[in-house]
Structure 1
């Protein structure tokens, strides 16, 4: 089965190679899901490049399983065919990069291909064709994009469901030649999977949260409050055991407008489309509690204050 992507005289062909040469069909859901992930990935690349992309599909050719996609790039109403070709070159370089290969050889290969793309972009600019601003940073972001890795992971996970698939190949062709750009056997599809959708958390060391509903009893209950920086309410997991103990055993008062100064951990994930979202909020340490004009220093706040006083009292190298 072949899926052809054409742009002028340049073509990229998707070849789904089966265990049995007599097979010429694929599960419709698998095919449509893989096409969706491919189009999402192309959309992400064009968005990161800062170019306007229109994708059209032509009717299938008779007697075959070939889908033809036309990529039209424009800027200010002017069609830029060269950027359609360049976008496909970015795809050729980025798509084969494995998610689970941190070897030095892989890093050097990726760096080499990135430098080659940057060089080609500069050559386009030197020829007088408009180039998106900060093109080097845009390409670097594409190479490290977790969103693109997620979309590739989705593609290969869905293609794995097709039991008869043996190899996935991408070819480039022109009126003069046809050659394999890369060939990926099903045995290594898993190397393109993302093990986890979790991202590194964000830490706000001086967050302020206005408490809406505190938890005044033992148990795994969530606090609720307004994160002042966002002016949005969230549920929070209270991780500061000393603060929880003071609330329950000493009956720390809460009233309308009570605020906590704290260390806030914002956990993040990738959704199914590869977009980032905040999955949960954790209060790791409570430094101070504000009730009106009154300030109550908490155990974590006292530790932070004493640590800072000790650091400030230490002579510097130049004292």
Structure 2
């Protein structure tokens, strides 16, 4: 029985202008591109819990060609990893305006289930007969780090006119082409570049903040407090206009040990190395103010509570009628 060829190499080819017969590339650009690709490679390994060794081979002629050789215990893992890398740098994202819009509308549980199912497949020794590309795309599109590194990669190439297109190809150990080569033209480079590094803000509807320093005058000044859930000191904007106005007009007193229960909006962004950082905090609604044993519910807090209770009662009524 003839043994099926095993995919274990990835060829990445940078094409130059036809009139350019050189096989050279700016060293800083190439090294920055390689850095971003290696970050993508590492992130996929981390996501899938696999350990594949990577080696590079000498460049070949024809523009500039890089060869990656992947070595590991299971051919299946190598095949999936190469497929993921090719998909990440060759499939134009669905949206590119900002990272929060890149995330697919999947719950955390659904995403984990997809990854866990793929991990089970990766424990098989043989290469897969069929790769569910939709599952692979979910892993790519719901990982801001991957999307950011892909964006960084194409940002480098987009600013380097010498590269007219790139291609990716799966090869076997004898460098024979196993699947059709994928090409990405220069006109498509900017479609991979993310224009905005902001992520969707997270909302904590049950935040408690111990007030350290309130703002008792008009203006866009930040308050300071201790965010109890994270046990950290934060500077935050007070966006609850009604509460802010009452503080200024009525001279609400803030003593040591004064707390507010509130809805806290946490802005996030992703930095150049793909790490998610919290960029700012804002209290959108103050629900309650309490000091020692005295708790005072704000009018806006009462309104918010009544709306939530009405929605809950409506949902319970719907459930009763559906039985």
- The residue correspondences of 1:53-64 to structure 2 (distance < 5 A) are 53-57=52-56
Flag the 1:250–1:307 CA change in 2: closer, same or farther, 3 A: same
* Structure-1 residue corresponding to 2:317: 316
Give me the whole-angstrom Cα distance separating, in 1, the residues matched to 2:317 and 2:281.
37
* Structure-1 residue corresponding to 2:199: 199
Give per-residue Cα distances to partners, 1:107-149, cap 9 Å, x unaligned.
9xxxxxxxxx9999766655589xxxxxx98874344322211
Give me the whole-angstrom Cα distance separating, in 2, the residues matched to 1:39 and 1:190.
21
Q: CA RMSD in A?
A: 3.5
TM-superposed CA distance for 1:294, in Å, is: 1.1
Give me the whole-angstrom Cα distance separating, in 1, the residues matched to 2:49 and 2:121.
18
Bigger mean CA deviation after superposition, 243-252 or 180-189: 180-189
Give me the whole-angstrom Cα distance separating, in 2, the residues matched to 1:120 and 1:238.
45
Flag the 1:50–1:119 CA change in 2: closer, same or farther, 3 A: closer
Give me the whole-angstrom Cα distance separating, in 2, the residues matched to 1:65 and 1:308.
61
2:213–2:224 Cα contact (<8 Å) kept: yes
- Match 1:87 to one of 57, 75, 81: 81
1:48–1:142 Cα contact (<8 Å) kept: no
TM-superposed CA distance for 1:221, in Å, is: 0.7
Give the total of aligned pairs. 289
* Structure-2 residue corresponding to 1:112: none
- Partner SS state of residue 52, structure 1: coil
Give me the whole-angstrom Cα distance separating, in 2, the residues matched to 1:15 and 1:285.
54
Flag the 1:81–1:262 CA change in 2: closer, same or farther, 3 A: same
2:88–2:150 Cα contact (<8 Å) kept: no
Bigger mean CA deviation after superposition, 280-289 or 10-19: 10-19
Give me the whole-angstrom Cα distance separating, in 1, the residues matched to 2:51 and 2:83.
16
* Structure-1 residue corresponding to 2:43: 44
Flag the 1:164–1:180 CA change in 2: closer, same or farther, 3 A: farther
- Are 1:16 and 2:9 an aligned pair? no
Give per-residue Cα distances to partners, 1:218-244, cap 9 Å, x unaligned.
111101111111111111011001111
- The residue correspondences of 1:210-249 to structure 2 (distance < 5 A) are 210-249=210-249
Bigger mean CA deviation after superposition, 8-17 or 208-217: 8-17
- Are 1:260 and 2:280 an aligned pair? no
Flag the 1:266–1:29 CA change in 2: closer, same or farther, 3 A: same
- Partner SS state of residue 25, structure 1: coil
Give per-residue Cα distances to partners, 1:249-304, cap 9 Å, x unaligned.
11101111111000111111111122222111110000111111111222311322
1:243–1:299 Cα contact (<8 Å) kept: no
2:14–2:167 Cα contact (<8 Å) kept: yes
Give me the whole-angstrom Cα distance separating, in 1, the residues matched to 2:309 and 2:120.
53
1:26–1:162 Cα contact (<8 Å) kept: no
TM-superposed CA distance for 1:71, in Å, is: 2.9
- Partner SS state of residue 255, structure 1: coil
Bigger mean CA deviation after superposition, 236-245 or 275-284: 275-284
- The residue correspondences of 1:1-319 to structure 2 (distance < 5 A) are 10-19=8-17, 20-57=19-56, 67-73=66-72, 79-100=73-94, 125=123, 127=125, 140-174=138-172, 175=174, 177-178=176-177, 180-307=180-307, 316=317
* Structure-2 residue corresponding to 1:111: none
Structure 2: which 5+ runs fail to align?
97-103, 105-114, 128-133
Give me the whole-angstrom Cα distance separating, in 1, the residues matched to 2:53 and 2:175.
27
Flag the 1:201–1:119 CA change in 2: closer, same or farther, 3 A: closer
Flag the 1:235–1:245 CA change in 2: closer, same or farther, 3 A: same
